[in-house]
Structure 1
Amino acid sequence: MPRSRDSGAPITSPAAAEVFTMVLTRGPVSRVDVCRLTGLSSAAVTKAARPLIEAGYLRELAPTERTAPGAGRPASPLAIAPEREYFVGIKITGDDLIGVVTDLGSRIVAAKHHAVPGFDVRTDASASPMEPADVVAAIAALVTELLDEHPGFRKRAHRLGVAISGDVDRVTGIVRYSPFLGWRDVPLAVLLDEATGLTTTLENDVKALAVAEQWFGAGVGASSFALVTIGTGIGSAFVVNGGLVSGAFGVSGEIGHVPIGVEGPRCHCGASGCLEALASTQALLTEARRATGVDDLTIDRAVTLARSGDEVLRKVFAAAGRAIGLGLAVVANLLGPESLVVSGEGLDAYDLFEESIREAFSAQAYGSAARCGLVIRPLPFEEWARGAAAVAVQSLVTYSS
């Protein structure tokens, strides 16, 4: 069952949620434009906005000039009050915690990294799992550090968003499966509610990043776009008809587990030939070590040698790039998005991938699907944590009857 949520903003109807979301993502915006974009009547918009203004979440800006002679009184655009509430976002990586505090408009106002002893990148699901209690304690400590950065944070921060790789049930707050932590069915949100005193929203990390893009980034106003991330894992998230695709069972966008090479290496999920088993950072490093015979080769060293002209390693990167290009073509062919944003820490070596990615994508994308623009945008890990905070903002705005 869904967990209870604190009162927060006065979202007392679907109309209030719709108006608040519109101003939050597109404001400042006039009431006339809110009516036009939402289809609500002027009276409905005024009724929905009034309690949000009284509670300090929205404010009216100074009137603007009339748009035309005789057009009536000047418009007073609605805008959010960014400092009305703060949100904590935590991204859990394979060896680190990244935390941020954002304002209501998703602007990062504080950020901290917190190394956790014992964390390591888990590519083998049979590895000893991290103890949930240790991770919860580390997150709670990081939240405390962040909230102590400014007196206003502790007073006006009530929500925590946490982004984690794997199969996550956002409604119940349960991590159903996270290969990098070795977890199955961990009730992380409830544990964090108790440890931090904040209302926790848990989400898959790639979906959280997509929420940030949809509400506050490149996806604002787009009816459809796709986000693909490349790095320790390979994931994707889709926005279709303005909504994030969650999947009937909470699983969607797992492009990393689409079979690209049927006879390819075995993946940690148990299948063979998955894109993630061919082109993730660890998969690429494993192949680089096999191809060179250097067992202690690091990914940074492999990148340096490939950039210096090592043909063996350049072929390894090119092969991974072709696999990625095929995976991107799958997304374009199935969804036909307006744009396809590619991000993740794996893009640090994008110059070694680019040609083979684009060649494979162009060759495999069907017809007009190839017109989908590839937007290559490396993002620091703070942006992943911002995505977690954006999910917390979203949970504030969501109407719950």
Structure 2
Amino acid sequence: MQRGTFQFMKSLNRSIILNRIRLEGPISRAQIAKDTKLTPPTVSSIVKELIDSGLIKESIQGESQGGRKPTMLIINEKGFYVIGLDAGPKDIKIILSDLNGGVHHFSKKALLLPVTADELLKMMKSEIQGLLDQYKEEEDKIIGIGVAMHGVVDVDRGISLYAPNLHLRNIPIKEQLETTFNLPVKVENDAKAIALGEVWFGSGSGASSVVAVNVGSGIGAGIVINGQLFHGEHFIAGEIGHMTIDIGGKRCSCGNYGCLQTLAAGPAIAERAKKELAIGKESRLTELSGGNLERITGRLVHKAALEGDQLSRDILHSAGIYLGIGLTNLIHLLNPERIIIGGGVANAGEILLDGVKETIARMALTERAKQTDIRLSSLGNKATAIGAVSLLLSELFSI
């Protein structure tokens, strides 16, 4: 599939009709014309082009309105595919998705750290090429590549400006991948990609304003308003992990002190557990870590908590309280309809969520704000890669 095919799909009237079929299908040609105010001949002509291209297909016949039964139209979800890449900071995950977000391939490969920008790009290309080799028969149906990258991303140029966990700057991801694979490439911050993916395929569906918070080795957020990502003037909107919560707190990787992610991200949870064990607190973590404090991770704390370990549950609850403070600030600033929490730390589920909700209920300004809809991600460990896919789909179907 060449870049021109994507552009073919992107004309205004095609996008209007595509979006109507995506949102309302099965739908008739006559109903599309009525809903969009396009003339019936225009609708028929574009529908024929879209059927010929394989992007939509005819399905069942609809109810008669007095004449012949109309033939209904739906998106041909397996007519085209998108590659989604979740790049780092510990591994590269890659998926092949259809137009409905159905995952047909998923794999991941650990990064060998430390890594240079050239090594990272080489690994990305290798993973994409490996997928293309595996799906040679579908290669002509692949319409683009989405890449979700942690840190600050220049979306317009597709450049990773700063990936703090990898200590890398100015990685020309879009240029390199488009040159290699001759496909359109969209690059976005991982938390923002997750937010878009949640709106398209997950817990954000149907909400007019959504903030998705990715809580893992760091904390970031994506903001979607009326279906559109909000980036801010310098692409840093949503960097809530660097919101100062405790000015006298620990120094963060960004250089500031007391950032939210020094209190509620995975490494902070692990560090708190190590300190508690070092002063003699009893915990199942001692057994799970084999008595080696350096083996304790946020994931291990979560495991111990699920097994009923009280110290681990208390630590996760405390992280939830700090996260709740950050989210209360977010509610007072943006007042979103829904907040979705995802990422590795979110696997702690209700243990974490209880602390979050308890804090918001105590601190938010109004009764309705106190009851802001807070949900866990429904996309699991594929959330970022599915978000990367949605970058292409949101452009394809946008009006």
Cα distance, 1:132 vs. partner? 1.5
> Could you tell me whether the CA contact under 8 Å between 1:264 and 1:273 is conserved in 2?
yes
- CA deviations 1:13-53 (Å, max 9, x no partner) are 3232232233235533345664676x544546555544323
Range moving further from structure 2, 19-28 or 299-308: 299-308
Cα distance, 1:204 vs. partner? 1.0
What is the aligned partner in structure 2 of residue 109 from structure 1?
104
Aligned in 2, Cα 1:362/1:175: closer, same or farther, shift over 3 Å? Answer: same
Aligned in 2, Cα 1:303/1:211: closer, same or farther, shift over 3 Å? Answer: closer
| SS of corresponding position for 2:4 | coil
* 1:23 lines up with 2:18 in the alignment: no
Task: Give the total of aligned pairs.
Answer: 382
What is the aligned partner in structure 2 of residue 337 from structure 1?
336
Range moving further from structure 2, 172-181 or 140-149: 140-149
Within 5 A, what are the aligned runs for 1:189-268?
189-268=174-253
Range moving further from structure 2, 219-228 or 132-141: 219-228
> Could you tell me whether the CA contact under 8 Å between 2:15 and 2:396 is conserved in 1?
no
Q: Tell me how far apart the structure 1 counterparts of residues 127 and 269 of structure 2 sit (CA, whole Å).
A: 32
Give unpaired runs (5+ residues) of structure 1. Answer: 120-129
Aligned in 2, Cα 1:385/1:284: closer, same or farther, shift over 3 Å? Answer: same
Please provide the CA RMSD for this pair: 2.7
Range moving further from structure 2, 337-346 or 22-31: 22-31
- CA deviations 1:176-235 (Å, max 9, x no partner) are 111112122221111122334432211111211222222233434432222112111212
Q: Tell me how far apart the structure 1 counterparts of residues 348 and 160 of structure 2 sit (CA, whole Å).
A: 31
* 1:79 lines up with 2:74 in the alignment: yes
What is the aligned partner in structure 1 of residue 93 from structure 2?
98
| SS of corresponding position for 1:82 | coil
* 1:348 lines up with 2:347 in the alignment: yes
* 1:153 lines up with 2:138 in the alignment: yes
- CA deviations 1:304-328 (Å, max 9, x no partner) are 5555666655443332111111122
Amino acid at match of 1:387: G
- CA deviations 1:143-173 (Å, max 9, x no partner) are 1221223332223224111111111112101
Amino acid at match of 2:360: F
What is the aligned partner in structure 2 of residue 123 from structure 1?
none
Cα distance, 1:174 vs. partner? 0.6
Give unpaired runs (5+ residues) of structure 2. Answer: 279-291
What is the aligned partner in structure 1 of residue 321 from structure 2?
322
> Could you tell me whether the CA contact under 8 Å between 1:9 and 1:57 is conserved in 2?
no
Instruction: Using the aligned pairs only, state the percent identity.
Output: 28
Aligned in 2, Cα 1:75/1:358: closer, same or farther, shift over 3 Å? Answer: same
- CA deviations 1:315-349 (Å, max 9, x no partner) are 43332111111122223333332322211111222
What is the aligned partner in structure 2 of residue 10 from structure 1?
8
